[in-house]
Chains A and B, each alone.
Chain A
Amino acid sequence: MNILAVLIPISLILGGIGLFAFFWSVKNKQFDDPKGNAERILSDRFDDDPNGR
């Protein structure tokens, strides 16, 4: 059962990274324009900033 001491923290850290990534994406307005995102993938212009700077 000692393996739990390793596995549980690992699973929590991985999940935490996912949660952090989600927070970051919400803060970066990546969920503000779902329709636009679906269409933008068809465009060949490089697009990496939803803030439009």
Chain B
Amino acid sequence: MPMRRIELSLPTVHCAACIAAVERQLSNRPDVFGARVNLTLKRVSITAADVPEIEDVLIAELDSLGYPAKPLDSAVLAMAEGDKAGRDLLARLGVAGFAMMNVMLLSISVWAGAEGYTRDLMHWISAAIALPAVAFAGYPFYKSAWSALSRGRLNMDVPISLAILLASAVSLFETIKSGDHAYFDAALSLTFFLLIGRYLDYKTRATARSAASELAALEVQKARRVTDDGEETVPLDALREGDILVVAPGERLPADGVVTWGDSELDPSMLTGETLPQSVGQGSIVRAGMLNIAGPLKIRAEGLGEETLLKQITRLVETAETTRNKYTSLAEKAANIYAPAVHLLSLLAFLGWGFATGDWRLAINIAAAVLIITCPCALGLAVPAVLAAASGRLFAQGVLLKDGVSLERLAEIDTVVFDKTGTLTTGKPALVNADEIPIETREYAAALAQHSAHPLSKAIARAFSSTLDIEDIREHPGFGTSGRLNGVELRLGRADWCGATSATQTAVWLKVGNAPPRAFLFEDEIRPEAHETVKALKAAGLSVHLLSGDVPAAAEAIAKAAGISHWTAQASPAEKVDALNALAAQGHKVLMVGDGLNDAAALAAAHVSMSPASAVDASRSSADMIIISNDLSEVAKAHKIAVASKRRIIENFSIAAIYNLISVPLALAGFATPLMAALAMSASSITVSLNAMRIGRMK
């Protein structure tokens, strides 16, 4: 039977019982040959019979078990199979560790005082172990150093490679000449410690990348197209101009177009930031990305080329990304100063000793010692160890970091700009005039609202309860809900349908018999943690702005509730970008927090940006960080962690510098021994790693 591998994302697995439940359930099926949960990546990989629709069947099965599953697209799948780079680094690390320990053991007998033939024997055996190990394990450094040099630049890997190779060469020469000192152990421990840094660095980035691509995979949008023999589900790029598409309530419109059938209301908040729903009927022009909240619609797709709003926003994002300034990370800055300084120092030592004593063998020995001792063992670990600890900490809290540099950017900000709808607010309507509504009216409304899936009805049903028994309840898609109580007709719905004139605010009307209709007014509910978050950010010395696409009244109300004094309303996507550029021109470093399609370009233009997991795809992909837990207070916490990480990185650089300040003069003076190099290197690497781990324990 042909087999197929299927990878599913399982965001809710978290314990041993979950693993057992999922694997047992799947393995009991006759068409599944094997299933394995990966708890680290929150995924299950399944080997199943290659029959049509197998993926959907398995997803339904897992859903019924209480684990919502999402298919991963083929690009993610290819990446999951290809964690070769990680395994490759791990193998090199293993070789370096093995060789280092063995050579260290042999070296100890030399340090303990072995002389003559015994010492030479130890050196020869060390060479036999060290040379192949150095060649194999150090390969990633040589490769990176070579690619930097061939482009005419210096990076951290250049002094590293030079130190490893020079130390090995000098040691081999000394061994042949039966000299006193061989640095095989130093060359290997250097490789070993630096590979740890490299591996941490790789793991941090790989975890972030896989989580980010999984988020992207969650929103593979499809459209339902009407054809001659019914409906078919097609990917968005297969849509053609003039296709008739079906959009059920609760779905987003897949394309711009014109309504050909049905009445409904559309929520444009993701597109424009406005919270007031728009009523649409036959002939209305609608935009991709709007949420259908009331009745089913059929639309005719139009303007699929360059003209869709989505495409225009994508273009804005691209321009913003290219104009974003190049950022030099702390590690690059350190390498830019460090690499030339070290090379110069060791060259000077070589020339100085050579000319002063005429003993070139001694001179090259001292130059090698200087390179080994100054070699950025601690520097190579200083940044990756902190970033691994910090991103692990953030991930546990529910913030996903796309790359380490954004953490450094976040530490530098002095201004935070929030979007309103969906960011400072929950994006869900809440009833605001409950106090003005008589008890009796509340009961009627609640009784009708219970039977409707419309978001405004749901908000009424949440606010009030009812025990009334209403007969003949009917939903009128796009209009409202009607029913009968003791022969009197009740209507809950749109203004014109209930005989009222529409308000400027989001509202639902209730009409009882012939009595004048009554309005239920709604406002977008502010997130409960918004005020605290703004307060915490202000306490950290940041100025906070609100930049909304909604009408001024709504923006002002939320700004007041959240405690924000600077607010701007009715900003278009392009104006949002301009506002951020203006702040940047004044020398501010801005963190943008937003979720809508209208924020996507602003997110890309900001110094650093965050978006909640509920955000639209385009915003999530242009944001640097994603708040997976959907809790706004993470913004303040993440900033705190970023500031602490930057401090830790600088501390680590200082620790490394202090070790160098003590040992470099000794090496220059020619007092350095292999024992000293080994001690200084291990001690400084362990100190910086321990210092980095303090991030994980921070309150």
Contact = CB atoms under 8 A, between A and B. Distances in A.
Given A19-B94, A32-B40, A52 B19 contact: no
Contact of B19 (A11, A19, A32, A43): A43
A33 B34 contact: no
A11 B105 contact: yes
22 contacts: A4-B118, A11-B102, A12-B102, A12-B129, A26-B91, A27-B87, A31-B90, A32-B38, A32-B40, A33-B38, A35-B39, A36-B19, A39-B19, A40-B16, A42-B16, A43-B17, A45-B20, A45-B24, A51-B34, A51-B36, A52-B36, A53-B47
Interface in A22-53: 22-23, 26-27, 31-36, 39-43, 45, 50-53
In the A-B complex, the 10 residue pairs with the smallest Cβ-Cβ separation, listed nearest first, are A52-B36, A36-B39, A39-B16, A42-B16, A19-B98, A35-B39, A35-B40, A33-B38, A22-B94, A33-B40
B45 interface: yes
Contacts of A53: 33-34, 47
A27 to B, nearest CB: 7
B677 interface: no
Contacts of B574: none
Interface in B199-245: none
Contacts of B94: 19, 22-23, 26
Nearest to A38: B39
B83 interface: yes
Interface string B27-68: 000000111111111000101000000000000000000000
Contacts of B36: 50-52
A42 B1 CA distance: 35
A19 to B, nearest CB: 4
Given A39-B19, A50-B36, 5 more contacts: A32-B38, A33-B39, A36-B37, A42-B16, A45-B23
A40 B105 CA distance: 37
A4 B39 contact: no
B15 interface: yes
A50 B34 CA distance: 11
Contacts of B98: 15-16, 18-19, 22
B101 interface: yes
Interface of A: 1, 4, 8, 11-12, 15-16, 18-19, 22-23, 26-27, 31-36, 39-43, 45, 50-53
Contacts of A1: 118
A19 B95 contact: yes
Contacts of B37: 36
B125 interface: yes
B121 interface: yes
Query: In terms of DSSP, what is the predominant structure of the interface of chain A?
Result: helix
A11 to B, nearest CB: 7
A4 B124 CA distance: 13
A18 B74 CA distance: 37
Interface in B125-168: 125, 129
Interface of B: 15-17, 19-20, 23-24, 33-41, 45, 47, 83, 87, 90-91, 94-95, 98, 101-102, 105-106, 118, 121, 125, 129
Contacts of B83: 32
A51 B38 CA distance: 10
Contact of A43 (B16, B87, B121): B16
Nearest to B98: A19
A29 to B, nearest CB: 8
A7 B91 CA distance: 26
Contacts of A11: 102, 105
Contacts of A27: 87
Contacts of A45: 20, 23-24
A8 B125 contact: yes
B87 A52 contact: no
B573 to A, nearest CB: 40
A18 B101 CA distance: 12
A30 to B, nearest CB: 10
A50 to B, nearest CB: 7
A39 B37 CA distance: 11
B125 A43 contact: no
Contacts of B35: 52
Nearest to B83: A32
A29 B132 CA distance: 25
A26 B87 contact: yes
Given A32-B38, A32-B40, A52 B45 contact: yes
Nearest to B42: A35
Nearest to B15: A39
Contacts of B45: 52
A53 B36 CA distance: 8
A51 B106 CA distance: 39
A19 B83 CA distance: 21
Contacts of B95: 19
A8 to B, nearest CB: 6
B102 A15 contact: yes
B675 to A, nearest CB: 20
A36 B14 CA distance: 9
Contacts of A12: 102, 129
Contacts of B121: 4
A50 B38 CA distance: 9
B96 to A, nearest CB: 11
A4 B36 CA distance: 48
A15 B102 CA distance: 8
B171 to A, nearest CB: 18
Among A23, A40, A51, A52, the most chain B Cβ lie within 10 Å of the Cβ of A52
A53 B35 CA distance: 7
Nearest to A41: B16
A4 B125 CA distance: 11
A1 B120 CA distance: 13
A16 B94 CA distance: 11
Contacts of A40: 16, 19
A52 B15 contact: no
Among B19, B41, B45, B121, the most chain A Cβ lie within 10 Å of the Cβ of B19
Given A26-B90, A53-B34, A39 B47 contact: no
Nearest to B80: A32
Among B35, B90, B101, the most chain A Cβ lie within 10 Å of the Cβ of B90
Nearest to B117: A1
Among B15, B16, B121, B125, the most chain A Cβ lie within 10 Å of the Cβ of B16
Contacts of A16: 98
Nearest to A37: B39
A18 B94 CA distance: 10
